[in-house]
Amino acid sequence: MIELAPSILSADFARLGEQVRAAGEGGGSVIHVDIMDGHFVPNLTIGPPVVKSLRKATELPLDCHLMIENPDEFIPAFADAGANWISVHQEACRHLDRTLHLIKSHDCLAGVVINPATPVDALAEVLEIVDYVLVMSVNPGFGAQRFIPSTLHKMRRLAEIRGQRGLHYRIEVDGGVALDTVADVVRAGAEILVAGNAVFGNGDPKKNAQVLLKAATEAAMQRV
Ligand code: DX5
Ligand code: ZN
């Protein structure tokens, strides 16, 4: 099943509750929350207090994408604040297996993320543990960047490995997903589509979400 995960990075932070509701009315079914620490990525965003407020503003699952160093130090705080899904970067984790189990111990779905320069092979030993794999299709840190097409083969490869090994993780894509790229990512096997600028950048988030989800669903029908 295809799901749209609107990323609040491009939303109006002064009207977050309202914007998240609009994106949900347009069919967004997971809210993607980008957490940046100014070290792992060259940008700063938000922490647990904002997640806690979002938790009151929506019943949709909160997908917290941690672009931070030492994620183990903060996972309990994000879980307590109301995160439902937590993903960590392979590149940021010295003890990835331990970190993924830490996420699960807080009753959250556990995801692992790979940057554009990181191969799928780097995840071979954790694919059995994770609930989802997030393929970055831009270098993390900012919204509204250009989609990197060479990441598509990683979505295909993850779908192939899942079949071969009889695993159940879902495949998420993040970065540059918009009307001109959505069919490609869906055909490559992505199932959870993060979109920031395409939903919140211009115009009405509800309408933008509807149009993007429709294009994604049509591409998924062509896939089968
Ligand atoms: C980038 C973030 C993304 C970002 C995507 O580092 O992880 O979630 O919000 O934004 P768009 O959809 O605008 O590329
Ligand atoms: Zn993200």
- The tens digit of pLDDT for each residue in 65-124 reads 999 999 999 999 999 999 999 999 999 999 999 999 999 999 999 999 999 999 999 999
Instruction: Say which of 12, 34, 107, 180 is annotated catalytic.
Output: 34
Q: Do 171 and 192 touch, CB atoms closer than 8 A?
A: yes
Is residue 174 among the annotated active site residues? yes
Q: Would the CB of 174 count as within 6 Å of ligand 1?
A: yes
Model confidence over 27-47: pLDDT tens digits? 999 999 999 999 999 999 999
Q: Give the pLDDT confidence score for residue 222 in this predicted structure.
A: 87
Q: Give the pLDDT confidence score for residue 108 in this predicted structure.
A: 99
Q: State phi, psi for 195 to the nearest 5 degrees.
A: -145, 120
Please give the Cα distance from 3 to 85 (Å, whole number). 14
- Mean pLDDT value of segment 211-216: 98
**Local confidence band at 223 (pLDDT 50, 70, 90 cut-offs):** confident
Residue nearest (by alpha carbon) to ligand 1 atom 10: 143
What's the burial of 175, exposed, middle or buried (CB within 10 Å: 0-12/13-18/19+)? buried
Model confidence over 150-199: pLDDT tens digits? 999 999 999 999 999 999 999 999 999 999 999 999 999 999 999 999 99
Ligand nearest the Cα of residue 140 is 1
Is residue 180 among the annotated active site residues? no
What's this model's pTM, rounded to 2 decimal places? 0.98
User: Which positions ≥6 away from 106 have C-beta within 8 Å?
Assistant: 75, 76, 79, 80, 86
Whether pLDDT at 15 is above 70: yes
Whether pLDDT at 224 is above 70: no
The strand ranges marked E within the chain are 3-6, 31-36, 62-67, 85-89, 109-114, 132-136, 170-174, 192-195
Q: Would the CB of 89 count as within 6 Å of ligand 1?
A: no
